[in-house]
Structure 1
């Protein structure tokens, strides 16, 4: 957590032109976000025809409203716009966390 979400790391990610962040709001409140990577932003070599969903989070109190689907559809839209044939979802296997925005 400290390695992935410290200020220096987040600034690096925000400044990478191959990473994109999207935020979803529900009743004017920030409910979650999506981070997608392409090209040089990929953490491992996956080929040029792939878009990676690195992060997709919806705060617990906003779950069950279809917001995760909205974010995932945004990832599909980006993949199509960039001629990507595959989408990869990155998962932290051993960490469960609650998103606090």
Structure 2
């Protein structure tokens, strides 16, 4: 997990080129309370940003689930990381798995 407070987030793009998206600094890191670094259980972190995000064609809100999906139910994921455990396939930005 990250522990540095000088992180930045690039929003609304899938490239790191300058001027291609909105940049926000991370003001706070919030680790899942049941995170287990030995097993990577609950390896999830919320990043609190220093300024609001401007929504538009490339930046949209998402609905947050109110309950866990049923076994076998299709789900969408986005970001970087594995979609299966242990090991597994790496998801790409905006990927589905």
- TM-based fold match above 0.5: no
Q: Bigger relative contact order, structure 1 or 2, given CA contacts below 8 A and separation 6+?
A: 1
Provide TM-score, normalisation by structure 2: 0.29
In terms of fraction of residues, the more helix-rich structure is 1
Specify which structure has the higher proportion of strand: 1
TM-score by length of structure 1 reads 0.29
